[in-house]
Structure formats: structure tokens, C-alpha cells
Chain A
Amino acid sequence: MAQNLRSNRQVSVCLPCRAVGSRPASAPALLFLSLLTSALPARADYAVNLQTPATGLANQVYDLHTLIVWICFVIFIIVLVPMGVALVRHRKSAGHEPAKFHHNTLVEWIWTIIPVLILVSMAWPATQLVVQMKDTSKEDLTIKITGRQWKWEYEYLGDGIRFISNSATSNEQIAGKQQKNEHYLLEVDKPLVVPTGRKVRIVLTAADVIHTWWVPALGVKQDAIPGFIRDAWFKVEQPGTYRGQCAELCGVGHAYMPVVVEAVPPQQFATWMQDQKTQLAAAEEASGKTYSLDELKARGEKVYAANCAACHQPTGMGISGAFPALSGSKIATGDKAGHMDIVLHGKPGTAMAAFGPQLSNLDLAAVITYERNSWNNKVGDAVQPSEIAARKK
């Protein structure tokens, strides 16, 4: 990823051509850039083109875009030149007398038909590429992606591996209390890992609202629609980390829903899979134990920050009229069972999601315990993972 980003951060990457220096740069883009750069400090972040492609598809999209921009640019010049000539030579102040002509059928036909031909020449490569993009058959592995407010869930179909990928950018960085690091807003706690050189088919859905899974370098952008299944595919050529974001407005956390894909060689991918299975077993075991209130509260605070604080706020006060306060709420200070139910099953018709399928029993127990014993809430009871397991049934 670092390599990938770096190439995008060079001033010299110019609009219509990727191979820097090998072809003449686009005049307006360069002119514009030189105007800008002369006025600003030399922090060079002026990426002006699509990100460096990492898949065959993205590469073809890149080239198609380059082609179209060039065609448009040439037409633009063809249009501007006579306009410029007229503006200079046919001015009244230059003593030009107006002509009287007001139509010319032949010319009008010509400039109707020629654009049609140009359009056909653009449509041809685009059509071929569309057909390729939509062909999700003959995949090597399938990953189910579920968009949730505001995180991605990945499930390797057939392997039983399932995890949630949360943004890893801290609130302190967002609030400007801490230096923002290099991958600000583009980093997650647990990336999606895929093998290189394999055709990965992704099937997408969403749990609450529409999200869009997007990784520019992979050339994939696909809406995840609640209740429906959509698919797309990619085949990463080079190992690396590729970063993207949710692209469809999905509520207050829309900007904080990054996608990170780590492409690794197939052998390494196999090892990673094995590791995941081992970890899964360990988590299962951890959920069987009993914990003290303090242990649960400490763990719950982290779970709360990652999953609940966006709406209910770190203070537990919510946002008046939109998201209810937990501090002092009847549910969070009332009966344990009621509290577990709303966290496990959510509240239909509101932004409150069902966390039952998203978090481990231990995390669920921890966050509920935290909510019952923080801010103004002093219930004093602890919820154990085993109680969650029982309640789920």
C-alpha cells in the first residue's frame, strides 16, 4: 500500500498518462498544477489521476479513462479554437461587421454525425470492459461482505471464518488532539486478506442501510444493499495493502468506514487461514469463562468506543432527538434481560443495529456490563458471556 500511495502523491503524475515522462503531459492539468504549486508550500500531495491500478480490470479502466480524456481534450480544443478566433477577430471594436447567415444544413448534419461516430468508438472498448467486469463466474474463492453502520463484516464462505473490520483511527486523531498518522481514516483493526493471482468473487449485502464497498486500486465499487445480494470480482496481481472507503452515504459514520485489503501470496494466505481457525477456537473458549465486573468493564469500554460511541456518544448522552442517551436510560439501568435483548436484536426501524450476530459473546457481555456501570448508571451487576449465550437461544 505504501508504494501504491506514494506513486499517487507525486506531483508529476499527470492527467492523461500514467507512465511519467514517457508521454507529453496534459497541458491544462499541468498549467493548472503549476499555478497551484507556485502558491503553496511544497507539500506534494497533488494526485491528479486514478490510483495506480493493482488488478487487470482497474488497469483497463485506467486506460479507458485516459483514452476518453484525450478524445475529450482534442474535441475541446477543436471547439475552443474557432471560438477564440471569433472572439478576437470578429469583435465590434475591431470594426467587424456582422454577417447575416443563420443556418447551414450540411454543416449541421456533419456535426451531428461525426460525434455519433466518435461515441461509437468510445462505446466499443467500454462495452467489452463492462462485460468482463460483470462476469463473476469461475471464481477461486467467495467472500461475503456485509456492510453495517459503520464497519464491514467479512465471511469466507465455506471456511467458517468471519470477522468484523473496524476503523482503527482514534477519536483523538479525528478531533485533532493527536498527530494524524499516514493512513488516517484508511486503517482498520483487521483487514480483509486475499490471495494474489486468484479470482476473488465478493458477494455483498448490508444489515441496515446501503453501503458501498470500494477499493480504487482494485477497480471494484459495489453497493451493498440490505436484503439483496450483489456481486463483483477482482484478481490482485501484486502483494500489497490496498485501501478504500465506503462510498455511499450511510449516516454519521460514513467517513469512518474504511476498507483495507491485504493481498498476500497463496501460501501465506493458507497459513493465515489456519491462524484464523485457531484464534476462533480460542475465542470460543474465552466465552465459556466467568469474569469479574472490572474485567468486563475494562473490555467493554473498548467495545463501546468501537461500536456504540458514534451514536450514543462517549459520554453516553446520545444526541437529542436522534440517538437516545444511555446514561440514566430505563433500559440500561433496568432489567438485564431487556438490556441484552435490545443489544442482541437491535430496534427495527431505527439506527439501533442487532449486535448479536456481530460481536462475540464475551464482547457483548462486556459492553452491556460497561453500559450498566458507567456515567450515571450504577447498577452494579455483571453480565457473563454464558448469559449472552443463553439469551441468544
Chain B
Amino acid sequence: MQSPTQTHHTDVYYVPSSSIWPIVGSIALLTLAAGFVLYLGKVAAGPYVMGAGVAILATMLFGWFSTVIKESLAGKYSDQVDTSFRWGMAWFIFSEVAFFSGLFGALFYVRLITLPSLGHADLVWPNFEGVWPSAGPGLNKTITPVGAWGIPALNTLILLSSGATVTWAHWGLQKGRQAQLKLGLALTVLLGALFLGLQIHEYAEAAFSIRDGIFGALFYMLTGFHGFHVLLGTVMLTIILLRAMAGHFTPDRHFAFEAVAWYWHFVDVVWLLLFVFVYWI
């Protein structure tokens, strides 16, 4: 997140002066949580309070990141600060890896341990087979999973291509070809949006819901959280595209771009695992 106008790197690590954005962020999340609780408690105001929380959160993110971009453009960030951003983003992605590991852990646990042991529990479920995909022994539902080689395969292709376009954009940036950067980013955003559109279509067509036993729960939880990350990634890519158009990035200082690219590749890898373990085998 370095500015092209920066002429020297200061030796002093930039410590920002006090900022109201963090407390605004806390208020936003508390409002959001309170609204959600009201919604769960079937209070009519719930969704509005949640909406207010989201609005405050959006304001906070806009304000906070504007400040960071301004500071960056003003040349306040030394190489050391840049390294901090890199570590910070890397560890953030690591935490996301841990989150998806938990979800995949649940998937493997159910497939390898839970369903077989339910299949053997004849005293409770006399006629249950316990084979994946299953909606469980007590719901009386059969699951017709989404086939891997229709939309999911197409989506795999789309996400892999988007990984390629974002890398191509990065090459353009490194070689100072701003047009290639913008085109590559625009294509990536487009592919991300296309993926989301197809995913929504797949949800609409699916023969099962999140309530349909463990398959429905795991399917929607895994693909839903992934889809949410694609959405976030697409929004961030859009912002990066806008910043690229504003000329914020130089061939050697453009960590904001790289951070989003890392994130995008991470989302890509998660999808590949989803494709294999949720859709395919």
C-alpha cells in the first residue's frame, strides 16, 4: 500500500495517532449482534437494527481504509510497515485456513465416523445404511446431490481462470503495463461475479435444503461460507480495480493488490477441495 509519490522511506515505524474507527467497528458489531438476537427472538425491529449495524460497519471500513490509503499515499509507510502488512495478511489467511479446516474436519468426521457408526446402531436405527450422501436416519429424506460435472465443474474452470487473470494482471503491474493490470483485474471481477451467479443458480435448483440432514447442512455451510468469501474477494478486487484506475500502484509498491490476490488464490484452493470432497467423491 505504498504511494508512487513517496520519495524516501523513513526510519521511524509509523505509529498512527488516535483513531475512532476501531470503537466504531465495535459498536457496529455489537449493533449487528444485538439486531441478530432481536431477530432470533422474533422482535420486528431485529432486521432494522442489523441493517444499522451493517451500515455502521460499512462506514467504519470505508473510513478506516480511506485513512490507510491516505497515509500510504502520503508516504508514511516504510519498508518495515510494508512487511508488517505482509505478515498480517499472511496470518489472517492462515486463520481462514483454520476456519475451513474446521468445516472440512466436520465433513470428514461425518463421512468416516458418524455415518458408519449410525449405520451400526441397530438398536436405535434398525434400517439405516449409513452411507454418504445421507440426510440421516430420522428424517425420512433421500438426498439427490448436485452432480460434480455440471455447474460445479464449470465453476472450477471459472475460478481457475480467475486465478490466472489476476496473476496476469500482477505481471502487468510489475512490468508497468497499467492497461494489462486493469484489464486483468476487470476480467477477474467478472469471473468472480459469474461464479457467484452460477452458485446462486445452483442453490435455486438444488433438490435439498440446509434443513435436509447432515448432507444439506454440510453442503450449504461449506459452499455458503466459500461463496461468502468469493463475494468478499470480488468486492475487494473491485476496490483494487478502482484504485488501479486511480493510479495508486507502482511496479514495486503495491501490497494492497498482492494482499487481495493472495486472498483470491486462497479462495481458489478452498474451492478445489470443495469440488473434490463435496461434489465429486
Interface window among B3-11, B113-121, B161-169, B227-235 = B113-121
Interface residue A227 (Cβ < 8 Å from any Cβ of B): yes
Nearest A residue to B114, CB-CB: A228
A203 touches B118 (CB 8 A): no
Interface residue B204 (Cβ < 8 Å from any Cβ of A): no
Tell me the smallest distance from the CB of A58 to a CB of chain B, in Å.
26
Nearest A residue to B136, CB-CB: A227
Nearest A residue to B125, CB-CB: A227
Task: State the total of A-B contacts with C-beta under 8 angstroms.
Answer: 20
Interface residue B150 (Cβ < 8 Å from any Cβ of A): no
Q: How far is the CA of A76 from the CA of B117 in the complex (A)?
A: 43
Q: Across the interface, which residues of B come within 8 angstroms of A203, CB to CB?
A: 123
Q: How far is the CA of A174 from the CA of B46 in the complex (A)?
A: 42
Nearest B residue to A226, CB-CB: B124
B123 touches A227 (CB 8 A): no
Cβ < 8 Å to A, chain B residues 106-150? 117-118, 120-125, 137-138
Cβ < 8 Å to A, chain B residues 39-94? none
Q: How far is the CA of A328 from the CA of B121 in the complex (A)?
A: 42
B123 touches A205 (CB 8 A): yes
Q: Across the interface, which residues of A come within 8 angstroms of B117, CB to CB?
A: 228
Q: Across the interface, which residues of A come within 8 angstroms of B124, CB to CB?
A: 205, 227-229
Q: Across the interface, which residues of A come within 8 angstroms of B120, CB to CB?
A: 229
Cβ < 8 Å to B, chain A residues 19-68? none
Tell me the smallest distance from the CB of B119 to a CB of chain A, in Å.
11
Cβ < 8 Å to B, chain A residues 106-163? 144
Q: How far is the CA of A205 from the CA of B137 in the complex (A)?
A: 15
Q: How far is the CA of A228 from the CA of B120 in the complex (A)?
A: 9
Cβ < 8 Å to B, chain A residues 206-259? 227-229
Tell me the smallest distance from the CB of A156 to a CB of chain B, in Å.
13
Nearest B residue to A205, CB-CB: B124
Chain B interface size range? 10 to 19
Nearest B residue to A157, CB-CB: B123
Tell me the smallest distance from the CB of B214 to a CB of chain A, in Å.
12
Q: How far is the CA of A247 from the CA of B118 in the complex (A)?
A: 24
Q: How far is the CA of A135 from the CA of B121 in the complex (A)?
A: 18
Q: Across the interface, which residues of B come within 8 angstroms of A144, CB to CB?
A: 123
Most chain A beta carbons < 10 A, residue from B117, B122, B124, B137: B124
Q: How far is the CA of A144 from the CA of B120 in the complex (A)?
A: 15
Please tell me which one of the listed residues A227, A228, A229 contacts residue B138 in the complex, with CB atoms under 8 A apart. Answer: A227
Tell me the smallest distance from the CB of A129 to a CB of chain B, in Å.
24
Q: Across the interface, which residues of B come within 8 angstroms of A229, CB to CB?
A: 120-124
Q: How far is the CA of A203 from the CA of B124 in the complex (A)?
A: 11
Q: How far is the CA of A294 from the CA of B64 in the complex (A)?
A: 73
What mask results when residues 7 to 24 of chain B are scored 1 for a CB within 8 Å of chain A, else 0?
000000000000000000
Q: Across the interface, which residues of A come within 8 angstroms of B121, CB to CB?
A: 205, 227-229
Q: How far is the CA of A228 from the CA of B122 in the complex (A)?
A: 9
Q: How far is the CA of A227 from the CA of B125 in the complex (A)?
A: 8
Q: Across the interface, which residues of B come within 8 angstroms of A228, CB to CB?
A: 117-118, 121, 124
Tell me the smallest distance from the CB of A250 to a CB of chain B, in Å.
18
Tell me the smallest distance from the CB of A152 to a CB of chain B, in Å.
16
Q: Across the interface, which residues of B come within 8 angstroms of A227, CB to CB?
A: 118, 121, 124-125, 137-138
Nearest B residue to A207, CB-CB: B124
Q: How far is the CA of A203 from the CA of B120 in the complex (A)?
A: 13
Q: Across the interface, which residues of A come within 8 angstroms of B137, CB to CB?
A: 227
Q: How far is the CA of A236 from the CA of B123 in the complex (A)?
A: 25
Q: How far is the CA of A131 from the CA of B46 in the complex (A)?
A: 55
Tell me the smallest distance from the CB of B40 to a CB of chain A, in Å.
14
Tell me the smallest distance from the CB of B253 to a CB of chain A, in Å.
45
Cβ < 8 Å to B, chain A residues 161-212? 203, 205
Q: How far is the CA of A383 from the CA of B192 in the complex (A)?
A: 64
Q: How far is the CA of A144 from the CA of B122 in the complex (A)?
A: 12
Q: How far is the CA of A228 from the CA of B138 in the complex (A)?
A: 12
Q: How far is the CA of A176 from the CA of B118 in the complex (A)?
A: 45
Tell me the smallest distance from the CB of B71 to a CB of chain A, in Å.
44
Q: How far is the CA of A203 from the CA of B123 in the complex (A)?
A: 9
Tell me the smallest distance from the CB of B126 to a CB of chain A, in Å.
12
Q: How far is the CA of A205 from the CA of B117 in the complex (A)?
A: 13
Q: Across the interface, which residues of A come within 8 angstroms of B138, CB to CB?
A: 227
Q: How far is the CA of A327 from the CA of B120 in the complex (A)?
A: 44
Tell me the smallest distance from the CB of A339 to a CB of chain B, in Å.
25
Tell me the smallest distance from the CB of A158 to a CB of chain B, in Å.
12
Tell me the smallest distance from the CB of B76 to a CB of chain A, in Å.
42
Tell me the smallest distance from the CB of A369 to a CB of chain B, in Å.
31
Q: How far is the CA of A94 from the CA of B95 in the complex (A)?
A: 52
Q: How far is the CA of A203 from the CA of B117 in the complex (A)?
A: 14
Tell me the smallest distance from the CB of A344 to a CB of chain B, in Å.
17
Q: How far is the CA of A309 from the CA of B176 in the complex (A)?
A: 77
Q: How far is the CA of A203 from the CA of B121 in the complex (A)?
A: 10
Q: How far is the CA of A205 from the CA of B124 in the complex (A)?
A: 8
Q: How far is the CA of A185 from the CA of B118 in the complex (A)?
A: 34
Q: Across the interface, which residues of B come within 8 angstroms of A205, CB to CB?
A: 121, 123-124
Tell me the smallest distance from the CB of B249 to a CB of chain A, in Å.
50
Tell me the smallest distance from the CB of B209 to a CB of chain A, in Å.
17
Tell me the smallest distance from the CB of A359 to a CB of chain B, in Å.
20
Give chain B's interface residues, CB within 8 Å of chain A: 117-118, 120-125, 137-138
Give chain A's interface residues, CB within 8 Å of chain B: 144, 203, 205, 227-229
9 contacts across the A-B interface (CB closer than 8 A): A205-B121, A205-B123, A205-B124, A227-B121, A227-B125, A227-B137, A227-B138, A229-B121, A229-B122
Known: A144-B123, A203-B123, A227-B138. 5 other contacts (CB 8 A): A205-B123, A227-B125, A228-B117, A229-B120, A229-B124
- What 4 pairs between A and B have smallest CB-CB spacing? A229-B121, A229-B123, A205-B124, A228-B121
